[in-house]
Structure 1
């Protein structure tokens, strides 16, 4: 899905060759493969083939770049989740297809997990602006399940299964837990 996300960035801009878009593209690749803390501004600048002044013209800091990356990732990820689940005929199928979306995501991104949680594990308490973007993404996911389920306790249970499925599938590079979560959701909905 990272490749699809980068293609999405490219297709949705008139001039992918702009320094800003090259910086965002390289940040997406590097944050995904190396992690946030292991990726330096100089590496992003070098691989995006931009001048340092260009970087700072578009982003005040690496944190600002991270926020922009996460906002674009949120927009892309949710549009794909909605598109994927909208093919379902009823509420239960839609919930189950959300878990199928995790499987698809794992296969496309080589079990890299959630960009938001990956970055969350790397930021400090002082990086509240990044934390707020991550919280907003997760809150939108909770709302997604609340709107589908209409029972807050059950929706929370499904949300926790969903999040746990992403984490466990990344940890073990397997969809086993996702499939078990699907079976659990089938039994409780």
Structure 2
């Protein structure tokens, strides 16, 4: 990837994360990145193509970081707990402003099937990752159902963190983890 293309992606990622997709125009990205309009459109034929590239890059980095955090754990229980702890750490970071994937769906809805597909792809990978961990205790169908539910818990935790911020007396990620443990207990799995 060319240096200018990466500068455009990094600039767009920061601006979209901070201000939203529709609020940030191409001119602002060009000015902030210090590139020409021709350079931007040479690498990205449309703003939607730029958003897709931003999300694909973010997805790749996110999954790499999450998998690295899980790989450091020595047991399935520790991996499952680390999954939720990863989100807690993200929630406390300075650049947390909600989920760029969820925000893209909220801003564009069904107007962009490509953005929906990226979101679905990420969710499918997270569910598969969680299912793999849960298969240490459960058969395939219950593991998939609980993985799907854990993904919903995390999505809810993200929205709660955005809504309440760091000043909340409750940690949405910790509540999601407690709820996941309770759900597993109903399946006979003590965590």
TM beyond 0.5: yes
Q: CA RMSD in A?
A: 1.7
Q: Given the superposition, is the C-alpha separation of residues 64 and 160 from structure 1 closer, same or farther in structure 2, using an over 3 Å criterion?
A: same
From 159, 171, 189, give the equivalent of 1:176. 171
Matched, 1:72 2:57: yes
Contact 2:123–2:151 (8 Å) recurs in 1 = no
For structure 2, the residue ranges without an aligned partner over 5 or more in a row are 136-142
Question: Which deviates the most, 147-156 or 129-138?
Answer: 147-156
Structure 1's consecutive aligned runs of 4 or more residues displaced over 6 angstroms after TM superposition are: none
1:156 — aligned with what? 148
Separation of aligned partners in 2, 1:186 and 1:148: 13
1:113 — aligned with what? 98
Give the 5 Å matches for 1:102-141: 102-141=87-126
Give the 5 Å matches for 1:1-189: 18-150=3-135, 151-174=143-166, 176-187=171-182, 188=184, 189=189
Q: CA deviation at 1:109?
A: 3.9
Q: CA deviation at 1:186?
A: 3.1
Separation of aligned partners in 2, 1:109 and 1:163: 19
Q: Given the superposition, is the C-alpha separation of residues 129 and 156 from structure 1 closer, same or farther in structure 2, using an over 3 Å criterion?
A: closer
Give the length in aligned residue pairs.
Answer: 174
Separation of aligned partners in 2, 1:92 and 1:171: 29
Structure of larger gyration radius:
2
Separation of aligned partners in 2, 1:89 and 1:53: 50
Q: CA deviation at 1:124?
A: 4.2
Where 1:108 maps in the other structure, the secondary structure is coil
Question: Which deviates the most, 152-161 or 18-27?
Answer: 152-161
1:9 — aligned with what? none
Separation of aligned partners in 2, 1:142 and 1:34: 29
Q: CA deviation at 1:110?
A: 4.5
For structure 1, the residue ranges without an aligned partner over 5 or more in a row are 1-12
